[in-house]
Amino acid sequence: MKKIFCFALAIMMLSAFAACSNSSDGPAANGGNEVFADGDQYDQIGGELNILNWGEYIDPELITLFEEETGVKVNYVEMTSNEEMLIKLKSSDCVYDMCFPSEYIIEQLIASDLLLPLDMDKIPNVKNIMQDKLEITDSFDPGNKYSLPYMWGTVGILYNTTMVEEPVTSWGILWDEKYAGQIWMYDSVRDSIGITLKYLGYDLNTRNADEIAQARELLIAQKPLRKGFGTDNMRPSIVNGKAAMAVLYSGDAFVCMDENEDLAYAVPEEGSNVWFDNVVIPKSAKNIEAAHAFINFLNDGAIAARNTEYIYYSTPNQAAMDRLDEYFTGSETYNPPKEVLDRCTVFHDLGDFVSVYNEAWNAIKMK
């Protein structure tokens, strides 16, 4: 769901990996040099592992390390949307062994009987995943039977504190006329309509046509104030001071804040979306053993820490969090407090009612 705009992030420690990868003595004395948190070693599995994931959503050096440890050749294919992934997984000639869909798509995949139940005995590092995150993902995958959280975050407002003087506490600021021409909205039907529904006091998963109509009219009325609807193009715009605010995913906001110290991020008091990208194994997977091994690998504490430091999205892995420095753990953008999460909701599959959202979205974009 969440697509990364990386400005040059993590420091590569290949020499440390080379030195440690053959050790069976557990963690290195220096936590920064450890390869596996528990001295995990992987059997030579071989074969190929076909992965479908978002672009720039994993540290590529970790793929290399996994290949070296297991003898598996990883074929990494990037997708641009959940809908694209859904089409590929429903295809009769689907070739993927694992993928990383968002919550509402996982509900569709489960309903369509397209996923393989995970064998948790083959994923001992599941113990590292935070229980509170599993409780949230249980809402779209009961019992976390088919998926495990990979990355997560929120949707909020990234704003320039030199251009926005008042505290950003409400979505209503996106309709403030004094910021006309300085407001970016996210080019996504669920995100833009969802935050408008929250501003109006409604559920972002509503199936009430009248509530959708109210959100539609409010977004149409916003047009003179908008700089536009955007995705990747919003981020350099706000980093370079060309816009006052933008609706963004928390991970992208965190990267932007790293580039410009005048930027701040807020999740408005009306509430927002908390999203999850989970890892799943399609029923059509050919290398099921390698898929489970890779999921276990990603959930190793040291590996998960390396990964989140590279992509800047929030990890659900407590063993990784224990290895991160204050720059990550102390940031409410990266690590939002419970009171923020308590007012956030995951997106659920809308079924046939999604057509009502799409019709509203088409009307908004045509105005």
Q: What is the pLDDT of residue 12?
A: 36
- Based on the fold, state whether residues 60 and 127 are members of the same structural domain: yes
What is residue 314's three-state secondary structure? strand
* pLDDT confidence bin for 315, thresholds 50/70/90: very high
Q: Measured between alpha carbons, how far is 45 from 259 in angstroms, rounded to an integer?
A: 41
53: tokens are 């994931």
Asked if residue 317 is part of any domain, the answer here is: yes
Q: Are 304 and 320 in contact (CB under 8 A)?
A: yes
DSSP per-residue codes, 194-241: HHHHHHTT--TT---HHHHHHHHHHHHHTGGGEEEEESTTHHHHHHTT
- Which among 61, 60, 65, 59 is positioned nearest to 42, based on CA atoms? 65
Name the pTM for this structure: 0.89
Find how far residue 206's CA is from the centre of its chain.
Answer: 22
Q: Is the pLDDT of residue 3 over 60?
A: no
Residue 139 CB partners (closer than 8 Å, separation 6+): 103, 346, 348
Q: How much is the pLDDT for 325? A: 97
Query: In the prediction, which pLDDT does 351 show?
Result: 95
- How many Å from the N-terminal Cα to the C-terminal Cα in the chain? 27
φ/ψ of 344, rounded to 5, equals: -115, 155
pLDDT tens digits along 177-232: 999 999 999 999 999 999 999 999 999 999 999 999 999 999 999 999 999 999 98
**Judgement on whether residues 285 and 208 belong to the same structural domain of the protein:** no
- Clarify whether residues 129 and 162 are in a common domain: no
pLDDT band at residue 13 using 50, 70 and 90 as cut-offs: very low
Together in a domain, 204 and 296: no
Q: Confidence band (pLDDT; 50, 70, 90) for 23?
A: very low
96 and 194: one domain?
no
Q: Are residues 265 and 163 in the same domain?
A: yes
Report how many domains make up the chain: 2
Residue 234: predicted pLDDT? 96
pLDDT tens string 317-367 = 999 999 999 999 999 999 999 999 999 999 999 999 999 999 999 999 998
CA distance 231 to 98: 26
Is 2 among the domain residues? no
Rounded Cα distance between 92 and 88, Å, is 9
Task: Give me the percent of the chain exceeding a pLDDT of 70.
Answer: 90
Per the structure, the complete domain to which residue 259 belongs is given by: 153-273+340-366
SS3 278: strand
Question: Does 142 share its domain with 200?
Answer: no
**CB-based burial label for 338 (10 Å; 0-12, 13-18, 19+):** exposed
What is residue 30's predicted lDDT score, i.e. its pLDDT?
Answer: 31
My answer on whether 116 and 75 are in the same domain is yes
Q: From the centroid of its chain, how far is CA 266?
A: 17
52 with 142, same domain? yes
If asked whether residues 22 and 85 sit together in one domain, one would say yes
Give the CATH number, domain containing residue 24: 3.40.190.10
Distance CA(150)–CA(157), nearest Å, equals 23
